[in-house]
Amino acid sequence: MVAIFGLPGGTEWVVVGLVALLLFGRRLPEVAKSLGKGIVEFKKGLRSVEDEVHRAGEEPPEVDIDTSTTEPPPQNDSSQQDNTPAG
């Protein structure tokens, strides 16, 4: 009784195995195969996400400059300016 909330010991695994055998019976190999495939798919997905994160960190960000949506700077209208000398 070293760890209260640790991994199950030998006796507990035997009980878990017997319960699984009673619940699933002949389908136990199918269930184990499906569980294994699910774990493999999860690892593949995790690996692809990790690769994408690494690639995104290595590449400079793409900057898309679209000049068609930018407005030109406002032009000064000379008729509205006061052209009298200061003084």
Note the pLDDT of residue 48.
Answer: 93
Q: What is the 3-state secondary structure (H, E, C) of the chain?
A: CCCCCCCCCHHHHHHHHHHHHHHHHHHHHHHHHHHHHHHHHHHHHHHHHHHHHHHHHHCCCCCCCCCCCCCCCCCCCCCCCCCCCCC
pLDDT, tens digit (0-9, with 9 covering 90-100), for 4-60: 677 778 899 899 888 888 888 888 888 889 999 999 999 999 999 998 888 887 776
pTM comes to 0.43
CA–CA separation, 37 and 30 (whole Å): 11
In the block, tokens 């290595």 appear at 58
Q: What's the pLDDT score for residue 81?
A: 56
